Amino acid sequence: MPANPRKPSGVPTIISADMTITGDLKSTGDVQVEGIVMGDVNAAKVTIAEGGTVIGNITAQHTRICGTVNGTTHSNNVSLAASARVTGDIHHDILAIEAGALLEGHSSRIPPATPALSAPTPEPAMAEG
């Protein structure tokens, strides 16, 4: 693995409709699934196209599901199209569900990331006299 992580090229990774991937996918960019992924998907933005399937967990900043997901989704912004079929829990900050989408699982809102609070500075010890 290179010492410096690669920067996104701006071109999405596309898993075409005639492709099946067995294993986890990790990307700092966008991933579009039109085929089948049997494993976890971790990317900045994940789109599951109509006819696409993920059997595994999804972790992303933005997730759009038009196809099928069997697994847990962790994403700040999740949208389910009318054609979405999701079996599993969704952890989100923002969730949009179109009429006709199927969700068999729980949705739970996670608050947006907050900056870490700085630790209090200890008071200097007083010299006894």
**pLDDT of 25-72, one tens digit each?**
999 999 999 999 999 999 999 999 999 999 999 999 999 999 999 999
Q: 82 with 67: CB under 8 angstroms?
A: no
| 9 contact partners, CB below 8 Å, separation of at least 6 | 29
pLDDT number for residue 34: 98
Closest CA to 71 of 38, 31, 25: 38
Mean of the pLDDT values across residues 1-13? 68
Q: 64 with 79: CB under 8 angstroms?
A: yes
pLDDT-derived band at 10, boundaries 50, 70, 90? confident
**pLDDT of 70-125, one tens digit each?**
999 999 999 999 999 999 999 999 999 999 999 999 999 987 664 444 445 555 55
